[in-house]
Structure 1
Amino acid sequence: PRTSRWWIGLAISLAALALATWGVQPTRLLATVTEARLEYLPLALLLQVVGIAARARAWQAFLGAVTFRRAFAALNEGYLLNNLLPVRLGELARAYLVRKGTTLGTAQALGSVLIERLSDVTIALAALTFALPRLAAPPWAQDIATGVGVALAAAIAGLLVLVLSRRIGPAVLARLPGIAGRGLPRLARGLTDGLYVAGSPRRLLPGLAWLLSGWVVAWLQFEVYLRLFGASGNPTVWLFSLSVIAFGGAVPSSPGAVGVYELAGSAALRALGYSPEFSLSVAAGSHLVQIATTAVLGGWFLSRESQSISDLARAARELARKPAETAIP
């Protein structure tokens, strides 16, 4: 099954890359890349690090029991693993890593990751909802945004019910026979406790503020990418493009969202009237900066902590199988 996931992800990525390069003229693409204004590149790299730092601060706020350095290190290590492993195992790995030197439980760490990801999707959807009417988007695009919004609202409502009635879920699961009845209640209790703690106003509000600041940095960074390749945009362009990239990058594919990221980014910019060559250059360039930055930072923290990628991959898979039992060695 693990091998089949790799092949399926690779097939999706190759198909996405084929679509992203559809209609692109190689000579024009080469000219766009070679004429890039490289003086903007250091600013793009700086904003990438600042954005990651803001996200780490948001995660620290949701967790409450870790230092900023621990959150920043685990976040970059998780991003690195997401670029190397399928099915976003890096999200599980960072929940595993962030507990080092703390009394934080595994399920509580997973609950904080879930809160962060839901908050991320909410901000992306809000940005898309804000941008679409200003772009004279077709009715079908607004219908899709509405449908996603309804589904997201239902998911958040379900989590709220689960968190506010923390005893119900574990009590129901405890009635299951065999090992499920022994392990699942503990997992459900830990997850709901983690969601309850991360979702308390004193942690949720600062976390959301820091997460939103990370998005603001990313929106500004997108303008830097536009200027890097010789054009410019406006806030509507930034909000729309990054929201499309956020949702497109969530599609299962090869590690690092290779292909689907480029397709989402170039499709968004093409829809706004930019040329195919420019659109692909911006999408691929921004993705390359993102991957390179997290590779350097994540690799540095892994080496400092004497961790290997294979060990973390094994721990992440174990965490996926037995989240209530995985322990830090």
Structure 2
Amino acid sequence: MKKLILGFAISALSLGFLFWNLDLSGFQTILDRWQPIYLLPFFIAIIWGLLLFSWRWYLLLHKKVSFKISLLSAYIGVGANQFLPARGGDLFRLYLCRQGTDIGYGSLVSGIFLEKVLDFSFIFCAGLGALSVLGVNQTDTKILFPLLGIIGIFSALAIVRFFHPKLVLLGEFLFSKIGKREFFRDKLAAQVTELGSFLTFRNISTYGFLTGATWLFGYAIHYTLLQYLVGIHLSPLETIFIMFCGAVGVMVPSAPSGAGVYHASITSGFVLLGRDSSEGLVYATTVHLGQMISLGILTAILYVYWSFSGQEKKIAPRM
């Protein structure tokens, strides 16, 4: 409850700051630039991006669930994230995958964990790389910081890959100092070992390609289509950087769907690119509402289908 209250407070403060300090004139011109013809391809792009997301989820679970269950749980779970606090849609996705299957929660949690690592690694490297190439308002020295961030991510993954047994021992030692050794063994050690074993060349190339395709040929397309919807145009590299800003925004504790913090992060990205802050707020609001409405519709339809198909009644979950 405390985390939920904190999240809502952060979102409220972020929204208050934005609407109090920024010029909101950009909202007055939306109707003049509005191009509703892009709504249909945007909706299709949402479906396409989640289809790629679902396929990766299916593979991360080692095909222990059918692709139909993987697809439905991914669509419903991602949509639920727009309305449930603390990324509750991910827990909902785990629950849905358990219904009608005999897959264990351990495999599901490992799949979610690896998924987050893949997404985090890709979008941070892509965003920092785009920022470095754009070189917006940066000196030669400052351009090095994004590159150092990318090197840091790859170095951390390499350390986990080759030294995960020692990292587990180090984690047990450190957590034992604060009386949390059993917590580390039960909750974290298996994830470190799983990630270390997962980071092979074959897995990195396969899942890395799927992750890149999901972001660049899924999410980036609907980010671009929404630009045309409201007459705000960014280059491909700028779009990748703004997606990176949005991803950072939803990582901060906030209200469901990152309201407020997401808007502040996107707006800050526009300012870094030398664009007008009110333009950034208009775009952030457009993306946020577009995703909430489209995913809300999809989630409602698919959840009703799931319920009436009797999928959840086939096999009772095992403890």
Q: TM-score, normalised by structure 1?
A: 0.77
Mapped partners of 1:101, 1:141: distance in 2: 52
Deviation for aligned residue 1:14: 1.3
| Contact persistence 2:128–2:149 (CA under 8 A) | no
| Contact persistence 1:100–1:328 (CA under 8 A) | no
- Structure 1 unpaired stretches of 5+: 308-326
Mapped partners of 1:190, 1:304: distance in 2: 35
Residue 209 of structure 2 is matched in structure 1 by 209
| Contact persistence 2:136–2:274 (CA under 8 A) | no
Instruction: Please list the CA deviations of residues 171-195 of structure 1 after superposition, one character each: whole Å capped at 9, or x if unmatched.
Output: x69xx9xxx9889756667646754
| Contact persistence 2:81–2:90 (CA under 8 A) | yes
- 2:100 aligned with 1:131: no
- Structure 2 counterparts to residues 14-163 of structure 1, below 5 A: 14-33=12-31, 35-65=33-63, 66-133=65-132, 134-138=134-138, 142=143, 145=146, 148-149=149-150, 152-153=153-154, 155-157=156-158, 159-160=160-161
- Equivalent AA in structure 1 for residue 104 of structure 2: G
Cα 1:275–1:12 shift into 2, 3 Å? same
| Contact persistence 2:137–2:272 (CA under 8 A) | no
Q: TM-score, normalised by structure 2?
A: 0.79
- Equivalent AA in structure 2 for residue 112 of structure 1: G
Cα 1:43–1:23 shift into 2, 3 Å? farther
Deviation for aligned residue 1:26: 3.8
Instruction: Please list the CA deviations of residues 178-220 of structure 1 after superposition, one character each: whole Å capped at 9, or x if unmatched.
Output: xx98897566676467547755555553322222111112223
| Contact persistence 1:107–1:190 (CA under 8 A) | no
Mapped partners of 1:204, 1:328: distance in 2: 32
State which drifts further: 5-14 or 220-229: 220-229
Instruction: Please list the CA deviations of residues 205-256 of structure 1 after superposition, one character each: whole Å capped at 9, or x if unmatched.
Output: 3322222111112223322222222232212211111111111221110111
| Contact persistence 2:136–2:273 (CA under 8 A) | no
| Contact persistence 1:107–1:194 (CA under 8 A) | no
Mapped partners of 1:156, 1:254: distance in 2: 31
Deviation for aligned residue 1:70: 1.5
- Equivalent AA in structure 1 for residue 297 of structure 2: V
- Equivalent AA in structure 1 for residue 14 of structure 2: A
- Equivalent AA in structure 2 for residue 266 of structure 1: T
Match of 1:11 among 6, 9, 12: 9
Residue 227 of structure 2 is matched in structure 1 by 226
Cα 1:191–1:267 shift into 2, 3 Å? closer
Cα 1:291–1:31 shift into 2, 3 Å? same
Residue 313 of structure 1 is matched in structure 2 by none
Residue 242 of structure 1 is matched in structure 2 by 243
Residue 258 of structure 1 is matched in structure 2 by 259
| Contact persistence 1:261–1:283 (CA under 8 A) | yes
- Equivalent AA in structure 1 for residue 247 of structure 2: A
Mapped partners of 1:41, 1:128: distance in 2: 26
- Structure 2 unpaired stretches of 5+: 309-316
Cα 1:91–1:154 shift into 2, 3 Å? farther
Residue 274 of structure 1 is matched in structure 2 by 275
CA RMSD of aligned residues (A): 3.5
Residue 314 of structure 2 is matched in structure 1 by none
State which drifts further: 154-163 or 113-122: 154-163
- Equivalent AA in structure 1 for residue 290 of structure 2: V
- Equivalent AA in structure 2 for residue 213 of structure 1: A
Matched positions, count = 304
- Equivalent AA in structure 2 for residue 62 of structure 1: L
Mapped partners of 2:181, 2:266: distance in 1: 45
Instruction: Please list the CA deviations of residues 24-54 of structure 1 after superposition, one character each: whole Å capped at 9, or x if unmatched.
Output: 4444412224531111121112111111111
Cα 1:270–1:226 shift into 2, 3 Å? farther
Mapped partners of 1:162, 1:187: distance in 2: 19
Cα 1:105–1:138 shift into 2, 3 Å? same
- Equivalent AA in structure 1 for residue 252 of structure 2: V
- Structure 2 counterparts to residues 183-202 of structure 1, below 5 A: 191=191, 195=195, 199=199, 202=202
Mapped partners of 1:291, 1:10: distance in 2: 17
| Contact persistence 1:131–1:239 (CA under 8 A) | yes
| Contact persistence 1:96–1:328 (CA under 8 A) | no
Residue 312 of structure 2 is matched in structure 1 by none
